[in-house]
Amino acid sequence: MLEMANTEKKEHTITREEILARQKPEIRFQTTIRDGRTELDESVMEQLNVTPSVFLSRDRKTIVCYHPPGKNYPIEFTKPAMPRPPRDYPDPRVVDETYRNSLSEEEVEEGKRLVDKDPWLWSPVALANMFQVRLEAIEEQLLPLTPEQQRRYDAESEVFWGMSGMKKRNVEKLNAWERNKYIQTREGYVAPAPKLERPRIPRPPKF
């Protein structure tokens, strides 16, 4: 019975594996043992992306498609993962261009009044979109909720997440309608440009 054991690789084996990783795939697919290369060329680096190749076999009867597997990208060339923005919150680039960094005193009072009225309806994201202010400013100036507001928020949250998918969508539509109705009564409200709808093509009658 054969036993598997962790054996240390020899230096020439490691060198040949590195040469094979750095060489560009060729149609002949010769390994480093066959072409006789035993020294590592430091001017050639490992290719991360290799273009797939399509060619005919030697007897010109078979189409060969060679698509080498992708390789691990060096961590030093990657960007750090960015957290996804909350639901209904704009893209960070839009926020940087259009959203302000702080609330005025009047807006703070208005936001506190709305949160006290319905903390579930007027979430931090909803207030940030209405005031056109960064979410961090809303959380800093209007949060945390009071114990009474937190109990009401938790109760509404429990009821909402216990609903079916269709009921959730209906509740979200009603909440959006109620928020928009209030936003239209605020001073300085400017109606958004109407959305252009694609004209419907009439369907021919069925016979």
More confidently predicted of 81 and 117: 117
Are 117 and 36 in a shared domain? no
Helix (H) or strand (E) holding 1: none
Q: pLDDT by residue (tens digit) across 4-38?
A: 556 778 887 888 777 777 766 555 544 444 555 56
How many domains in the chain? 2
Expressed as residue numbers, the domain containing 69 is 12-76
Q: Kindly report whether the global pTM for this prediction surpasses the value 0.75.
A: no
Structure tokens given for 79: 């960007």
Helix (H, G, I), strand (E, B) or coil at 2: coil
pLDDT band at 40 (very low <50, low <70, confident <90, very high): low
Checking if the pLDDT of 133 tops 80, the result is: yes
Taking a C-beta distance cutoff of 8 angstroms, is the pair 43, 84 a contact? no
Q: Does 198 fall in a domain?
A: no
